[in-house]
Structure 1
Amino acid sequence: MKTVRDVMTADVVWVSPSARVKTAVILMKQNKIAALPVVDNNGHAIGLVTQDRILGEPEDTIIANIMQRDFAIISPTASVREASEEMTRSAASHLLVMEDDRLVGIVSRSDLLPELGKNFDPLTGLPWSNALREWAMNALKSGNEIAIIFFDLDNYGKFNKRYGHVVGDSVIKEVAGAIKKGIDPDRELACRYAGDEFAIVSLRQADDARALAEELKFAIAASDRRRSRRCDCYLRHFGRT
């Protein structure tokens, strides 16, 4: 997966804290951007101003009076996925990219989406199956045994046709949430394998992996008893290479 450095805007357009809203508006329009880092005379990033922040403000308002001071930051070496998670955690539309206390870039959610779409399912936030294959191969090459658990929702196609895609999508998200909550990220990886199929690759021994599968089947069913949700699961165990 690409890093923040690969997708960020490195040629940063910024504004001084003593500048006026009028200046920020001009810079945003000229450069077709929605956010400006606020940089002081020492070259330090001290704030962030966005289109939403200046909307409705008088043109002569000083930027320092309206800028966001608790802005979110990210390292250029962080993955695109980590940047997305930081945006969600901090409810930020933009992240300032900092390296050795220096502003080296800015990244927006729209910068991340093309890369996230290739590697992660936007509906559930889970990676696609290519991530599972890569994780499994690396584990086997390291001499580990792995177990792969497949989950298939019963009659999801009929359910989706009857209740519609909005309700169907909510079911997929709930199932993904139950799976993510039930796994140990240090020992396994979950992915969306296909439309109504999920898979987990785990470092657990076969018996422990089987117990995990049963726990997750129960969790999936319990996530919405009104719909009597059920799923089938299959387990395959692979020895050392």
Structure 2
Amino acid sequence: MNRRPTLLAALTLTAAAALTLSACGSDDSSKGKDNDKIAGADTGDKASPSAAPSEPGTSGRPEIELPSDVTYEFEWKKTGDSQKDAVLNDAEQRIRAVDMAIAKQDPLDKAYRFYSEGTAAAESQKYIQEFVDHKARTTGLTRYYSESLTIKGDGTAALVYCEDQSKAFNKFLKTGKTDVTPVTKDSYVVYAGTLRKNDKGVWVTERLISQRGSAKCQP
């Protein structure tokens, strides 16, 4: 079920590096990589608008529409701090936008690039391309929880959070077959990202790393 990127062997929470992606079907455990099988869905699935609101006062945000079988549970709590809540909102929108690009089979889709720059955008493009190459997309429910957010002195934001992929899978575009795999400790992933507010008022993700099977995220 490992539909997300291959994970880095080590996670540095204070200085997030680029998200690293693996080739579908690879099996190189000696390098700390997972065998991330990709399956896909039929292209006739109806898209549904993103339920998450855009940040008030920021115009020009892309509309995010996803297939009806791509759903989320964001358990990120409102902080009451407008700046921190804006960071969490834009991080959520980036996640949705990447899945939309996968569903659209468009590695250059403008929505995820609206919410990411630098190495995060470049590596997301590679990740989306893997799904395109295998004519696949995501399906199911993904849960996000245990977030930790710090606004640093240089104006950037450091965001760490967990992802539960136990109910999220891959589907083949041509057959509609869902690749349902057993739930293991590797179904739970920790992410660490660095975000920066750009001149459009959007908190873009610049760097992102992840580690599958993290003890921090186990149920």
Fold-level similarity (TM above 0.5): no
Larger radius of gyration: 1
Greater relative contact order: 1 or 2 (C-alpha under 8 angstroms, separation 6 or more)? Answer: 2
Using the size of structure 2 for normalisation, the TM-score is: 0.24
Using the size of structure 1 for normalisation, the TM-score is: 0.22
More helix by share: 1
